[in-house]
C-alpha cells in the first residue's frame, strides 16, 4: 500500500514538470485521439505533437500509453479541461 502511495506521489511531482502544451497533449491523446487529430485540434503539426508526446512520456516515466492513461485518470486530467 505504501509503495502505491509513493508511486502516485512521484507521478504527481513529475506532472508538475510538464509544460502547458504537454498537459494539453496529455489530455487529448489519453482520450484516444491520434497524433494527427490532436494536431488538428491544437492547430499544430503532427511532428510537433509527436515531439511533445515523446517528452511527456519521458518526463512522466510512462512505459506505454496505458501507463499514461492511468496517470491522467488518477489525476483527473481530461480533454474537457483543455
pLDDT tens digits for range 24-78: 999 998 899 999 999 999 999 999 999 999 999 999 999 998 988 888 888 888 7
Domain count, the chain: 1
Is 4 a residue whose pLDDT tops 70?
Answer: yes
Rounded Cα–Cα distance for residues 18 and 12 (Å): 11
CA distances from 47 to 35, 39, 53, 70 (A): 8, 8, 10, 24
Range of the domain at 73: 2-81
Instruction: With cut-offs at 50, 70 and 90, classify the pLDDT of residue 81.
Output: low
- Model confidence at 15, pLDDT cuts 50, 70, 90, reads confident
Q: In CATH, what number is assigned to the domain containing residue 58? A: 1.10.10.10
Return the H-helix or E-strand segment holding 13: helix 2-15
Specify the pLDDT at position 13.
83
Amino acid at each position: 500500500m505504501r509503495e502505491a502511495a509513493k508511486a502516485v506521489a512521484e507521478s504527481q511531482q513529475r506532472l508538475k514538470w510538464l509544460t502547458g502544451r504537454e498537459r494539453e497533449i496529455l489530455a487529448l491523446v489519453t482520450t484516444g485521439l491520434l497524433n494527427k487529430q490532436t494536431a488538428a485540434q491544437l492547430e499544430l503539426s503532427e511532428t510537433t505533437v509527436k515531439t511533445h508526446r515523446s517528452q511527456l512520456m519521458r518526463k512522466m516515466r510512462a512505459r506505454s500509453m496505458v501507463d499514461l492513461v492511468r496517470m491522467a485518470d488518477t489525476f483527473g486530467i481530461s480533454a474537457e479541461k483543455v
